[in-house]
Amino acid sequence: MDYTLGVDIGTTSVKTVLYDVKGKVHGYSNNGYPLYQDTPDMAEEDPEEIFSAMSDGITELVRKANMKPGELKGVAFSCAMHSLILLDENHKPLTRAITWGDNRAVNYADKLKASPEGMEIYKHTGTPIHPMTPLTKLIWLRNDHADLFKQARWFVGIKEYILYKLFGVLKEDYSIANATGMFNIYNMDWDEQALKLAGVTRDQLPDLVDTTYQLKGMREEYAKVLGIDINTPFIIGASDGPLANLGVNAIQPGVVAVTIGTSGAVRVVTDKPHTDPKARVFCYYLAKNMWVVGGPVNNGGVVFRWVRDQLCAPEKVTAEQMHIDPYDLLTEIAAKVPAGSDGLLFFPFLGGERAPIWDANARGSFFGLNRTHTRAHMIRAVLEGIVYNLYTVALALEEVVGQPTSIQASGGFARSALWRQMLTDIFEQDVAIPESFESTALGAATLGMYSLGLIDSLSDVSNFVGTTVVHHPDPKNFQAYRELIPIYIRLSRSLQPEYKNIAEYQRRHEHEDEDAEKSE
Ligand code: ADP
């Protein structure tokens, strides 16, 4: 048997999956690590804890599979985007891994975004100017932590650090580099203007390589721990968003991948880089002639979770007594209300928002409430609001790359037939739910198999991914949405100027509450 390991270094855990060359799963391991948040806007992780999680995952699967020498053909990586670690001259970390969720660069990001230079840089890096990116984190560190910044000899992400420990070389794939905000998508090289702004030089960054690049000749001590041959090829792989598209088989032109997990995203693969005159979408490299254009949203299933916990505490208790998932009870209640929630709209921006409005100050709201509306209306309106928001991202995407031809949807939301149908009706498109286990790890393994010559083309992924169910738009429902979506879009624009004011008010009061607590 020939095996490939897909290793997905995520925000909360490393997921490791063992596949054969037919894409069949032979083992799975999930190894978590804590997020360090000493202050609300900090989001760091310990590089050594992530390294151990990676190492534990591989060791466990290799041991359990009882492989013969030579059966493990390669190990391929996916990694969360935008992490930053400062290393000293001996490649020892001076910081933890500062993750995409860390918001401390916000003031520098806002300032750059508002300047003409911000737009220029977006246009040749394909990465929105945002505190998530290493570019803005470097500007923040250089200004606010100058001593630390000066001590640093290298600036890398978590995957580069892990591979350095294993192989003793600093390499960065185009896809992860792309997401730093300092990579020129037209020259396929570090972007001089962005580097200057960050205050770093190319000799402080890893060498750039393609996503199919193989590392060989691991340090013996680690090969022993992992239980593998030191010459087992490690395929550097790409970042998680683009690999998720590959892993749900959304790589043909016009096939849009919509994900609603805790957060959400809308993404499509194109054969060349594209950017948006309004800077609403990202453009990240996947593999040769494959670019992933799309928008990430903060407010996916996490908003439904808020409804479950804050608006529907009684239903949650009932569901627990009935031994059913509270989400299933809530969607059952929502199903009793017609499409469009009798004119109740919901803006899901509880956690600020990235695409399409890119406004960290955005806040949520119900609009159109009347006395006949019930809690069931509110639940349904929330589910619809999350999808309206993703739909507006899809509209932005359509302006940049053209009309979608079909939709592949995935994430926790897909457990609900009602929510899947809502997506179908609001998008007025057939929606297929692909059957793939851990799409991102599968994307990595597929890229790995391609690099190793075990498959001829990335489109062979279609043999690995099945379809569980296909939904078709229901004319009864989409009429309502056709009337309501324009109202949602107009309202969305008119609410925007007030987000900053309400967020400032909330922040001021948060501090007052904290101060009051301290003095008690
Ligand atoms: P993650 O993005 O963390 O991997 P998932 O993809 O599992 O998470 O998505 C979790 C979200 O999926 C939950 O917040 C919830 O909104 C939604 N969800 C989970 N189960 C159901 C269900 N039975 N019905 C509707 N939504 C669900």
What is the rounded CA–CA span in Å between residue 113 and residue 111?
5
What is the rounded CA–CA span in Å between residue 176 and residue 182?
10
Q: Best substitution site from 8, 11, 262 to test ligand 1's pocket, by max atoms within 8 Å of Cβ?
A: 262
Nearest-atom index, ligand 1, CA of 410: 6
At 315 the pLDDT is 96
Q: Best substitution site from 327, 422, 437 to test ligand 1's pocket, by max atoms within 8 Å of Cβ?
A: 327
Residue among 432, 514, 512, 426 nearest 474 (CA): 426
> Does ligand 1 have an atom closer than 6 angstroms to the CB of 307?
no
At 520 the pLDDT is 57
> Does ligand 1 have an atom closer than 6 angstroms to the CB of 332?
no
Nearest-atom index, ligand 1, CA of 12: 3
Q: Count CA atoms within 13 Å of residue 321 on its CB side.
A: 6
DSSP SS3 for 220:
helix
Q: What is the DSSP letter of 124?
A: H
What ranges in 338-410 are assigned the alpha helix state H? 375-401
CB 349 within 8 A of CB 364: yes
At 507 the pLDDT is 87
What is the rounded CA–CA span in Å between residue 71 and residue 293?
36
Q: Which domains does the chain have, with CATH numbers?
A: 3-248 (3.30.420.40), 255-435+474-495 (3.30.420.40)
Residue among 303, 207, 213, 237 nearest 81 (CA): 237
Nearest-atom index, ligand 1, CA of 304: 16
Helix (H) or strand (E) holding 74: strand 72-79
> Does ligand 1 have an atom closer than 6 angstroms to the CB of 343?
no
Beta strand segments in 225-377, E: 234-239, 255-260, 264-270, 282-287, 290-297, 345-347, 365-367
Q: What is the DSSP letter of 359?
A: B
Rounded to 10 degrees, the C-alpha dihedral 437/442/443/445 comes to: 180
DSSP SS3 for 309:
helix
> Does ligand 1 have an atom closer than 6 angstroms to the CB of 348?
no
- Tokens 């560190």 identify what position? 141
At 519 the pLDDT is 61
Per-residue pLDDT of the chain (520 residues; tens, 9 = 90+): 999 999 999 989 999 999 999 999 999 999 999 999 998 899 999 999 999 999 999 999 999 999 888 999 999 999 999 999 999 999 999 999 999 999 999 999 999 999 999 999 999 999 999 999 999 999 999 999 999 999 999 999 999 999 999 999 999 999 999 999 999 999 999 999 999 999 999 999 999 999 999 999 999 999 999 999 999 999 999 999 999 999 999 999 999 999 999 899 999 999 999 999 999 999 999 999 999 999 999 999 999 999 999 999 999 999 999 999 999 999 999 999 999 999 999 999 998 999 999 998 999 999 999 999 999 999 999 999 999 999 999 999 999 999 999 999 999 999 999 999 999 999 999 999 998 789 999 999 999 999 999 999 999 999 999 888 999 999 999 999 999 999 999 999 999 999 999 999 998 988 776 666 666 5
> Does ligand 1 have an atom closer than 6 angstroms to the CB of 123?
no
Rounded to 10 degrees, the C-alpha dihedral 391/365/357/196 comes to: -140
> Does ligand 1 have an atom closer than 6 angstroms to the CB of 133?
no
Nearest-atom index, ligand 1, CA of 300: 16
Nearest-atom index, ligand 1, CA of 419: 25
321-330 contacts, C-beta under 8 A, 24 or more apart: 327/415, 327/416, 328/415, 328/416, 330/304, 330/379
Q: How far, in Å, is the centroid of ligand 1 from the Cα of 213?
A: 34
488: which 2 tokens?
A: 């949602």
DSSP SS3 for 301:
helix
> Does ligand 1 have an atom closer than 6 angstroms to the CB of 174?
no
At 518 the pLDDT is 60
> Does ligand 1 have an atom closer than 6 angstroms to the CB of 11?
no
